[in-house]
Chains A and B, each alone.
Chain A
Amino acid sequence: MEPVIDVVNLSKAFGPKIVLSNVNLQVQDGESLVVMGGSGTGKTVLLRNIMGLLKPDAGHVAVDGKIIQDLNRDELFEVRQKIGMCFQMAALFDSMSVEENVGFALKRHTTMTRAEILDRVDECLNMVGLKDTNKLKPSELSGGMKRRVGFARAIALKPKILLFDEPTTGLDPVMTDVIGRIILDLKAELGVTSITVTHDLKSAFEIADRIALIFRGECIACEPPAAFKVNPHPVVQQFLRGDADGPFLQDPPPPKRALARPVVHPVHID
């Protein structure tokens, strides 16, 4: 079966900095892929290439068999209507209310009446657990609420694919769990194909059908959560342990306090 999202030999560099190098990923219909990796390893760049916001230096991304970089703008916009993108910091339009944000794409790309749009907006906000926030401005929302409005905006057009860019970064553990559950609910209710970029191991193992790990621009593992847990690769194991010591960091980490050399002249505060 042809994958819904097919990333083939994708490479991208910004000046001398190689961000992605020969990445290959396939996401099947209805599958949920979680992409993990250290900060600055190109996870967001991968999503931006899939959306066509960036052009690859080599390789390509195909969505539903269409190679993104070969499409003209009208064709690209057609493909984008099938994809919902949830940004790391939500990227809500700050001059619009929650209702206008969620209904934005409906107003522009459908022939729905105002009443139908408002119904769909309510439906989307209910799905993400945000009732009665329609008239609020983004500045009146908390970080977690903004992300959820971003989710509602992304699902308004009933997309086939959802891309989540670090949906839980900067949120407290409870809100992180809430976001994880919402992603699971969306997956179950809408049956979408999704790619989630996250650092949060707990929600990653809950959400994922497969987990990919990007290390220094390369995809070093892509397998179901159970197999990922026992993957013998030292980088995978270090990432799962969350330990600073190991091959993951390019620069050596500072020593742990207990192992550090003793302080010769400790300062005494009376």
Chain B
Amino acid sequence: MLNSILEPLGTNILRFLDQAGDFAVVSGRAFRSIFRRPFDLANLMHQFQSVGVNSIPVIMLTSLAVSMVFAVQLAYGFKQFQAEGLASQVNGLAIVRELAPVISGLMMAGRVGSAMAAELGTMQVTEQIDALECLATDPVHYLFVPRLLAAAITLPLLVALSIYVGYWGGYLLLVGVEGQSAFVYANDFYKLLAFRDLRIALYKAFVFGLIIALVGCWRGYRTQGGAEGVGNAPTSSVVTSSLWILVSDFFLTKLLLV
């Protein structure tokens, strides 16, 4: 009876530790490989395109929708206390500190991380990664590094874009619909914020970029079992990186705000 409970528990704990160790080793190899030759600029540019440029529409739409709906909630909530003027300040605070980095991170985990896992997973099951090895090319160097750099550099830029779009989303709602003064909105949006808040948002985005690329690439790289494995890799990559984004967001906020 006790054995039947402890055995699967032990197996799962060992599997988790095994995977965590493997992730740490592969991530370490990826960081070490950043400075190794040859530098594949064309591949890096391609990743900037697919990770960064191609994500602009989705980030703009999500930021606009989230900031507008948040402004609706704030306008309605503060109206209860005759404090509508606070809506723009709180909107600014929420967008810069939390909404822009976290929502962008989660969207990118879904759009980019899953694509990385699916691409590398397909390469793994069709022996293309073995072919890279046989052509004396380290797959971690060739596949991970451009994706890692592209995600870590473009995610802060996309978060900056998200904040900018979020400003105008709130503007549309609070000024356009609720009839607040445009001048007051422009002044109040940044009233509760310091430059440090923007810096923290960009730090978070950088960390989220690393998480998305490393988890996505690692899941793809370790894909096993044909079509089913390739199907599982993106799902598992999105779930794992989303969880890590939320967990690290808490700790980064706690650490950097102090």
Contacts and interface: CB of A to CB of B under 8 A. Distances in A.
Contacts of B258: none
B126 A89 contact: yes
A88 to B, nearest CB: 8
A80 interface: yes
A87 B127 CA distance: 8
B18 interface: no
B137 A87 contact: no
Interface residues of B, number: 13
Contacts of A85: 131, 134
Nearest to A77: B136
A51 B136 contact: no
Interface stretch (A101-109, A184-192, A197-205, A215-223): A101-109
A63 to B, nearest CB: 13
A153 B127 CA distance: 15
Contacts of B137: 77, 104-105, 108
A83 interface: yes
12 contacts: A51-B133, A53-B134, A80-B133, A80-B135, A83-B134, A85-B131, A85-B134, A91-B128, A91-B131, A94-B126, A104-B137, A105-B137
A94 B128 CA distance: 9
A122 to B, nearest CB: 19
A104 B128 CA distance: 13
A209 to B, nearest CB: 24
Interface of B: 38, 123, 126-128, 130-131, 133-138
Contacts of B38: 108
Given A94-B126, A94-B128, A105 B135 contact: yes
Contacts of B138: 73, 77
Nearest to A80: B136
A48 B137 CA distance: 16
A52 B135 CA distance: 12
Interface in A66-113: 73, 77-78, 80-81, 83, 85, 87-89, 91-94, 104-105, 108-109
Contacts of A77: 136-138
A93 B143 CA distance: 12
B133 A91 contact: no
Residue of B123, B133, B136 most packed against chain A (CB within 10 A): B136
Nearest to A95: B119
- What's the interface size class on A, roughly? 20 to 34
Interface in A142-192: 153
A158 to B, nearest CB: 13
A166 B215 CA distance: 35
Nearest to A109: B136
Nearest to A78: B136
A147 to B, nearest CB: 13
B131 A87 contact: yes
A153 B130 contact: no
Nearest to B40: A108
Given A94-B126, A105-B136, 17 more contacts: A51-B134, A52-B133, A53-B133, A73-B138, A77-B138, A80-B136, A83-B134, A85-B131, A87-B130, A91-B130, A92-B128, A92-B131, A93-B123, A94-B128, A105-B137, A108-B38, A108-B136
A87 B138 CA distance: 18
Q: Which 7 A-B pairs have the closest CB atoms?
A: A91-B127, A77-B136, A85-B134, A91-B131, A80-B136, A105-B135, A81-B136
A185 B133 CA distance: 26
B96 to A, nearest CB: 38
B169 to A, nearest CB: 36
Contacts of A91: 126-128, 130-131
A53 B38 CA distance: 22
Contacts of B126: 89, 91, 94
A83 B130 CA distance: 14
A94 B123 CA distance: 9
Contact of A108 (B128, B130, B135): B135
Nearest to B122: A94
A175 B130 CA distance: 25
Contacts of B136: 77-78, 80-81, 105, 108-109
A77 B135 CA distance: 8
Interface string A27-59: 000000000000000000000100111000000
A153 B135 CA distance: 9
Contacts of B128: 91-94
B135 A89 contact: no
A17 B135 CA distance: 29
A90 to B, nearest CB: 9
A80 B137 CA distance: 9
Contacts of A93: 123, 128, 131
A85 B133 CA distance: 10
A153 B136 CA distance: 12
